[in-house]
Chains A and B, each alone.
Chain A
Amino acid sequence: MFKRFVSLEWKQFSRSSYFQKGLAIKILLVLAALYFIAMAVFAGIGAYFGIQKMLPDKNPVEVINNFVIYWFLTDMVIRFFMQQLPVLNIKPYMVIPIKRSTVIHFLLGKTTISFFNFLPLFFFLPFSIVLLAHDYSVLNVVAWFFSMMFFTLSVNYLNFLLNKNNKVFYVIATLLIAAGLLQFYGIYSITEPAGYFFNTIYNKPYAVLIPLLLMIMLYRVNFKFIRKDFYLDGAISKETKDVHTQELTWLNRFGKVAPFLKNDVRMIIRNKRPKQVLFMSFLFLFYGLIFYTQETYQEMPAFLAFASMFVTGGFLMSFGQLVPSWDSEYYKLLMSQNIPYREYLKSKWSLMVVAVLISFILSTPYIYFGWDIFGMIAAGALFNMGLNSFITLYGGVLNRVPVELNVKAKAFSNTQGFNPTQLLIALPKIFGPILIFYIPYKLINFETGIICLAVSGVLGLVFTNFFLNQIEKVYQKQKYKTIAAFSEKK
């Protein structure tokens, strides 16, 4: 039976629309996956030597053990937002004569074959091999390695519960927030006992039983949970919570744009995919940390200009590149209704500009790195509002990929909104700020560079009407193609 399931899964995979897209995209996806794998392998090998170099009097395993709790916590959060659970697919199996337990085992087994479970393997395996090469006890290292894998799978199954069971979700979320607050205010640190815990697991190889039992237990809980609800109105049903009509009257002050703005706000807060984008754009805020903290980049202001643009541009870029696509599910309605297209576009644009402003306010802590850096972020924000917003909107029209709003994007199978045109459009977004900053910087000085970047954005804002008109024309021209593309079966 399992064999037949696997063959069905393979058909589902190889016949799905994203797989039948261009070869170029497939190659890019494989390259991206290889990149992450290579990074993980590299980190796995490099971690030992890196730690040894930086903290010569510490044991690398202990250092890893002290921090591995953060790895698992991050893993959990990212999974919660990114990992797509294969739940709805069991519906066709409910009425044909297959044992329920077989279907459930298969379903749970399927979640195991996820990129999220393999990535840690590529880190912990090379790290363990390096340990063995340095004469660490074979038994300890092997047991530790399996412990890490079992923990990873435990997170995997826990994530399943988190997604399906509100009670579990609230309990875990409360615990995490409480731990985070306690840590933040220095009342109690979970890092130390966690480090102690993981070190104990390393030192006592038989302790591998703890994660193993944890994993089995979570698997059993999942199994029971699904078994109990293996009905149409049970585990596989989409959750319908009570919702309330939200008037959002405070948005009326935006005049003609208001009806669209209201819808956009509701769309973002009520659908999984846009929520994911919101979460991702929050992460963009920390992008600067990579660049500003490293000495090497201090001498390369072009890179800093690029990073500064990214800090405030996360939402703008990830939301904006899918602009008509967000409305793909009801695009025919918009196209046949009495809609001033310009207001529709302007609403999306306003949303992006507001997001840049909010990101900018949130980025004030970067003042810590000096006023130069903060000036750059401010100039980057202006560039984002005045130019990047229009470039992104323009790229969106050429995109034409339907988006399923209430379905999370799958990690690594998400080619939605990704095509060669998109890459081309990305070029001015990335190199624009670099060039606008770098040329005056080279010719005159740092301040002029910043001013030029800021002025370019202000100019864009001054010509807002012109740009919106141009984009509107492209939208009108592409109308039929877009409608046809959006009504294709997903």
Chain B
Amino acid sequence: MISVSNLSKDYNGVTVLKIDNLDIPTGESFGLVGNNGAGKTTFFSLLLDLIQPSSGYIKNNNIVVNESEEWKPFTSSFIDESFLIGYLTAEEYFYFIGELRGQNKADVNAFLKQYEEFFNDEILHQKKYLRDLSKGNQKKAGIIAALIGNPEVIILDEPFANLDPTTQIRLKKIIKELNEKTDTTILISSHDLIHVTEVCERIVVLDKGETVKDIQTSQATLEELEAYFNR
């Protein structure tokens, strides 16, 4: 689904990301881990064509992302709060995203129904604008909005951060279900090794912009990762 070729990104002569080759097959749940500054967000930004690569390219379903916009209809993402429109209520935000993805109000309502448990009565009917919700609740709204309209590729940057424990567990369940029941390709970055090993079939470790490990998740993965980061 996603293939990376000779990709690099420099800022003022300093290379912050350099991935020669990376292929993510359709339907994989892909985890990206690494310390601060490892290049996780840079990679996602390149994938979403929010920044320009210094060299190389990323193909999303055979579309070179910085040349055509055809990848947008089947790709959705939640990177940070700048993906929320602060002056909307959660419902208005979901309907807006729905309209962009060809879902009418009834579709969106039916879709949201599945996530009532995840919302825990803290998102819908709150009489509040998104900017006045807590960080965790903003995140919940953003993550669910990224699932609207059956996207084929979902990109979530640090989805577990700021969530309360119950919600973290529920989010893991949602991701696993998506992975099992649909052919959605899911890309997740995280600082939490336990969560990421639990939900991802494959984990890539980035360090200073380069891939240093590429692991198919197994029983031993968590230990391997912990050993790697405990240097």
Same complex = yes
In the assembled complex, which residues on chain A have CB atoms less than 8 Å from the CB atom of B92? Answer: 245-246, 262, 266
Q: What separation, in Å, do the CA atoms of A329 and B82 have in the docked complex?
A: 6
Q: What separation, in Å, do the CA atoms of A245 and B126 have in the docked complex?
A: 9
Q: Please tell me which one of the listed residues A242, A259, A336, A483 contacts residue B96 in the complex, with CB atoms under 8 A apart.
A: A259
Q: What separation, in Å, do the CA atoms of A468 and B71 have in the docked complex?
A: 23
> Contact between A332 and B83 (Cβ–Cβ < 8 Å)?
yes
A458 CB to nearest chain B CB (Å): 33
Q: Is A91's beta carbon under 8 Å from chain B?
A: no
Against A, the Cβ 8 Å flags (1 = close, 0 = not) of B16-41 are: 00000000000000000000000000
Against B, the Cβ 8 Å flags (1 = close, 0 = not) of A454-490 are: 0000000000000000000000000010011001000
> Contact between A406 and B100 (Cβ–Cβ < 8 Å)?
no
In the assembled complex, which residues on chain B have CB atoms less than 8 Å from the CB atom of A266? Answer: 87-88, 92
In the assembled complex, which residues on chain B have CB atoms less than 8 Å from the CB atom of A338? Answer: 72-73, 100-101
Q: Is A335's beta carbon under 8 Å from chain B?
A: yes
> Contact between B84 and A333 (Cβ–Cβ < 8 Å)?
yes
* Given A243-B89, A245-B91, A270 and B129 contact (CB-CB distance below 8 Å): yes
A 198-250 contacts with B by CB, 8 A: 238, 240, 242-246
A347 CB to nearest chain B CB (Å): 12
Please give the number of chain A residues whose Cβ is less than 8 angstroms from any Cβ of chain B in the complex. 31
Q: Is A330's beta carbon under 8 Å from chain B?
A: yes
Q: Is B127's beta carbon under 8 Å from chain A?
A: yes
In the assembled complex, which residues on chain A have CB atoms less than 8 Å from the CB atom of B85? Answer: 263, 329-330, 333
In the assembled complex, which residues on chain B have CB atoms less than 8 Å from the CB atom of A259? Answer: 96, 99-100
Q: Is A189's beta carbon under 8 Å from chain B?
A: no
Shortest Cβ distance from B52 into A: residue = A480
In the assembled complex, which residues on chain A have CB atoms less than 8 Å from the CB atom of B79? Answer: 332
Question: Interface size for chain B: under 10, 10 to 19, 20 to 34, or 35 or more residues?
Answer: 20 to 34
State the total of A-B contacts with C-beta under 8 angstroms. 83
Q: What separation, in Å, do the CA atoms of A151 and B132 have in the docked complex?
A: 37
Q: Is B194's beta carbon under 8 Å from chain A?
A: no
Q: Is A405's beta carbon under 8 Å from chain B?
A: yes
Q: What separation, in Å, do the CA atoms of A336 and B80 have in the docked complex?
A: 12
Shortest Cβ distance from B65 into A: residue = A336
* Given A240-B132, A335-B50, A339-B100, A406 and B89 contact (CB-CB distance below 8 Å): no
> Contact between B87 and A335 (Cβ–Cβ < 8 Å)?
no
In the assembled complex, which residues on chain A have CB atoms less than 8 Å from the CB atom of B99? Answer: 258-259
Against A, the Cβ 8 Å flags (1 = close, 0 = not) of B41-69 are: 00000001111100000000000000000
In the assembled complex, which residues on chain A have CB atoms less than 8 Å from the CB atom of B132? Answer: 238, 240
In the assembled complex, which residues on chain A have CB atoms less than 8 Å from the CB atom of B128? Answer: 240, 242-243
Q: Is B86's beta carbon under 8 Å from chain A?
A: yes
* Given A240-B132, A480-B52, A484-B51, A336 and B89 contact (CB-CB distance below 8 Å): no
In the assembled complex, which residues on chain B have CB atoms less than 8 Å from the CB atom of A333? Answer: 82-85
Q: What separation, in Å, do the CA atoms of A266 and B92 have in the docked complex?
A: 10
Shortest Cβ distance from A341 into B: residue = B69
In the assembled complex, which residues on chain A have CB atoms less than 8 Å from the CB atom of B83? Answer: 330, 332-333, 336
* Given A244-B127, A480-B52, A406 and B87 contact (CB-CB distance below 8 Å): yes
Q: Is A271's beta carbon under 8 Å from chain B?
A: yes
Q: Is A337's beta carbon under 8 Å from chain B?
A: yes
Q: Is A278's beta carbon under 8 Å from chain B?
A: no
Q: Is B77's beta carbon under 8 Å from chain A?
A: yes
> Contact between B50 and A242 (Cβ–Cβ < 8 Å)?
no
In the assembled complex, which residues on chain A have CB atoms less than 8 Å from the CB atom of B76? Answer: 337
> Contact between A243 and B127 (Cβ–Cβ < 8 Å)?
yes
Q: What separation, in Å, do the CA atoms of A26 and B73 have in the docked complex?
A: 45
A 391-449 contacts with B by CB, 8 A: 405-406
Q: Is A331's beta carbon under 8 Å from chain B?
A: yes
In the assembled complex, which residues on chain B have CB atoms less than 8 Å from the CB atom of A242? Answer: 127-128
* Given A336-B48, A336-B77, A480-B52, A263 and B96 contact (CB-CB distance below 8 Å): yes
* Given A243-B128, A270-B129, A337 and B97 contact (CB-CB distance below 8 Å): yes
> Contact between B89 and A245 (Cβ–Cβ < 8 Å)?
yes
Q: Is B131's beta carbon under 8 Å from chain A?
A: yes
Among B48, B50, B91, B127, residue most surrounded by chain A Cβ atoms (within 10 Å): B50
Among B76, B84, B101, B129, residue most surrounded by chain A Cβ atoms (within 10 Å): B129
Q: Is A267's beta carbon under 8 Å from chain B?
A: yes
In the assembled complex, which residues on chain A have CB atoms less than 8 Å from the CB atom of B131? Answer: 406
In the assembled complex, which residues on chain A have CB atoms less than 8 Å from the CB atom of B96? Answer: 259, 262-263
> Contact between A483 and B72 (Cβ–Cβ < 8 Å)?
no
Q: What separation, in Å, do the CA atoms of A262 and B97 have in the docked complex?
A: 12
In the assembled complex, which residues on chain B have CB atoms less than 8 Å from the CB atom of A329? Answer: 82, 85-86
Q: Please tell me which one of the listed residues B80, B82, B87, B97 contacts residue A267 in the complex, with CB atoms under 8 A apart.
A: B87
In the assembled complex, which residues on chain A have CB atoms less than 8 Å from the CB atom of B50? Answer: 332, 335-336, 480, 483
> Contact between A270 and B48 (Cβ–Cβ < 8 Å)?
no
A249 CB to nearest chain B CB (Å): 9
Against A, the Cβ 8 Å flags (1 = close, 0 = not) of B127-167 are: 11101100000000000000000000000000000000000
Residues in A lying within 8 Å of B, measured CB to CB: 238, 240, 242-246, 258-259, 262-263, 266-267, 270-271, 329-333, 335-339, 405-406, 480, 483-484, 487
Question: Assuming A242-B128, A330-B86, what are 7 further A-B pairs, CB within 8 angstroms?
Answer: A240-B128, A258-B99, A267-B87, A332-B50, A333-B83, A406-B87, A480-B52
15 contacting pairs across A/B (C-beta < 8 A): A243-B128, A244-B89, A245-B91, A262-B96, A263-B96, A330-B84, A333-B85, A336-B49, A336-B50, A337-B100, A338-B100, A339-B72, A480-B51, A480-B52, A484-B51
Q: Which 3 A-B pairs have CB atoms at the shortest separation, nearest pair first?
A: A259-B99, A336-B48, A242-B127
